[in-house]
Structure 1
Amino acid sequence: MMDLLDRKIIAELQRNARESTTKIATKLGVARTTVHERISRMEDRGVIAGYSVVLQEHPEGHKVQVVVMAEVQQKETRRIIKRLETYPEVRQCLSINGEFDLIICAEAPRIEDLDILVDEIAAIPGVVRTNTNVIFGRRIDRI
C-alpha cells in the first residue's frame, strides 16, 4: 500500500529519475534515509519497475500526433495488432472496454502521413470502424 509520501516520491522521480535522494528529501521535508528506504521498498515490491531515458524531440521539429480509436472484430484482434506493429508511426496500442476496442497512438512529421496511416488502419480486415483525434498539446506528460 502506498501512502502520500510514497506518491510524492514517485512524482519527484517521474519529474527527474536522476534526482538525488538528498534533493528529494529536502523538497519533501523528510530525511534522506527515509527517501532512500522508501524507494528501495517500492523497487522491491515492484511498484517502481524501472527507470527510463526520455530523448530530445526529433531534430527536425515537432511531430503531429493522433489517437485512433478502433472497433474490431474480436476474433481478428491479434492479427490486427500484429499488422499495427509493422507501422513505425504507431507508438502505442491499448486494449480498452466500451464502444471501441483499441486505442492506437501514432505520430509522424506531417499530418498527411497520418492521414494515409489512418486510411490504412481502417482498411485492415477486421477493423469495423475508427474515430481519429489530433493531439494539440500535452498538459501532463509523465512518460
Structure 2
Amino acid sequence: MENDPLDNLDRRILHLLQLDARGASDTDIADETDVTGTTIHNRIKQLEEQGIITGYNPELDYERAGYPMQVLFICSTDLSRRSEMAEEALEVRGVVNVREMLSGEENLHVEVVAESTSEVEESTDQLDALGLRIVSSNILAEEHIQPWNHFHQKFAGEDPDAAEEIGSSEE
C-alpha cells in the first residue's frame, strides 16, 4: 500500500505496545524486532507526533475499584450535534467513554460507571438535561478487549518469503 503511513516495523511496535505499553521498554521492543533501542524510541516518537499513538491508558476493573455499576446508555441526538453532544456527555459525572456512531438513530453510546443505582440515576438525569434521548440502557457484565494484531502483514520470523525485512529501515 503506497499511502500506508505504517511500515512493518511500525506495525510491530504498535502491536507490542498494545500487549503491554507500560512494561515494554524500548530495549524490550528492540529485542523483539531486531533493531536498536534508539530506532524504537525514534519510531514511537514519530507515531506519537503523527497522532497514530494518542495516549497510554490503563485498563481498569471498575468493580474492584469500588464502582460495581457499569451501564451502557444508547442515546440519540441530531447528527449535526453529535460531536458537540459527545464532548458535553464526557463532562457528566461517571461517564468514562462516549462513542459516536456514524449514522442512525442510536448515534451516541455512553458508558457510565457508578457506586450505586442512585449515582446512575444522577448520570441519567444529567444526560437527559443535555438533550440526549436515552433509547436504551444495559448493565455491562463484562468487557473483553484484545490488542489488534491484524495490520495486514506478516511479522519477521513468521513468513520466510516476506519481502520487507523489519530491521531494514534503521533511524
Between the two proteins, the alignment pairs up a number of residues equal to: 139
SS of 2:142's equivalent in the other structure is: coil
Q: Which residue of 2 aligns with 1:10?
A: 14
Kindly tell me: are residues 68 and 79 of structure 1, through their superposed partners in 2, closer, same or farther at Cα, counting changes over 3 Å? closer
CA distance in structure 2 between the partners assigned to 1:85 and 1:40 by the alignment? 28
TM-score normalized with structure 2 length: 0.59
Residues in 2 aligned to 1:139 and 1:40: alpha-carbon distance in whole angstroms: 29
Q: Name the CA distance, whole Å, in 2 between partners of 1:40 and 1:125.
A: 38
Counterpart Cα distance in 2 of 1:44 and 1:75: 30
Which 5+ residue runs of structure 2 have no aligned equivalent? 148-171
Deviation at 1:70, TM superposition (A): 0.8
Is the CA contact 1:72–1:129 (under 8 Å) kept in the aligned structure 2? no
- 2:155 maps to none
The answer to which structure has the higher strand fraction is: 1
Matched to 2:98, the amino acid is: C
Q: What percentage of aligned pairs have identical amino acids?
A: 24
Give the structure 2 partner of residue 22 of structure 1.
Answer: 27
Q: What TM-score do you get using the length of structure 1 for normalisation?
A: 0.68
Describe the shift of the 1:141–1:62 C-alpha distance in structure 2 as closer, same or farther (beyond 3 A): farther
Distance in 2, Cα, partners of 1:39 & 1:125: 39
RMSD across aligned positions (CA): 3.5
The amino acid across from 2:27 in the alignment is T
Distance (Å, rounded) in 2 between the aligned partners of 1:135 and 1:113: 16
Q: Is the 8 A contact 2:94 2:123 kept in 1?
A: no
Aligned equivalents of 2:53, 2:127: Cα separation in 1: 37
